[in-house]
Amino acid sequence: MRRTMLQAKLHRVTVTHCELDYEGSCAIDEDLLEASGLLPLQKIEIYNVNNGERFATYIIRAERGSGVISLNGAAARKAQKNDILIIAAYVEVEEAELPGFAAKLVYVDGQNRIKSTASEIAVQPAAGWNRAAE
């Protein structure tokens, strides 16, 4: 059996450009690509935190160290400059590979500079949960 797993996530990146008259894609700073293991021309899912839009496109490389997250072509209609995005990619993994599988999670600051990386998402307490009440 194969499972679709999160391969990589760029968490809460900020849109720096929306280029409607450019060939459709998402330009991503090469530093972020390297940290996440994402590649040019790879399919990505984009989740816009500001407006709830969810859409797919592909990656093109932006200049290293530029902090660029640019939505191009039709994708430029799905966000505005300064919107916050989650960019995710998924991969098919064989059941036998799951024990060693780890995602690459990249967390950034307001200028899309890497703050930290991780291989799993921290467990969040349930809404309304109160440890003191236990």
Res. 131 pLDDT band, cuts 50 70 90: low
Token code pair at residue 56: 């797919």
Q: In what order do the strands lie in the sheet with 84-94?
A: 17-19, 69-72, 25-29, 54-62, 43-48, 84-94, 2-14, 104-108, 114-118
CATH number at residue 50: 2.40.40.20
55-71 mean pLDDT: 98
What domain range includes position 92? 2-133
pLDDT at 76: 97
What pLDDT digit, counting tens, does each position of 88-124 carry?
A: 999 999 999 999 999 999 999 999 999 999 988 776 6
In whole angstroms, what is the distance from residue 81 CA to residue 72 CA?
A: 12
Structural domains in the chain (count): 1
Q: Is 25 tagged catalytic? A: yes
**Per residue in 20-47, pLDDT tens?**
999 879 999 999 999 999 999 999 999 9
Determine the 3-state secondary structure of 36 from DSSP.
helix
Is position 66 annotated as part of the catalytic site?
no
Residue 31 DSSP class: H
Q: What is the rounded average pLDDT for all residues in the chain? A: 93
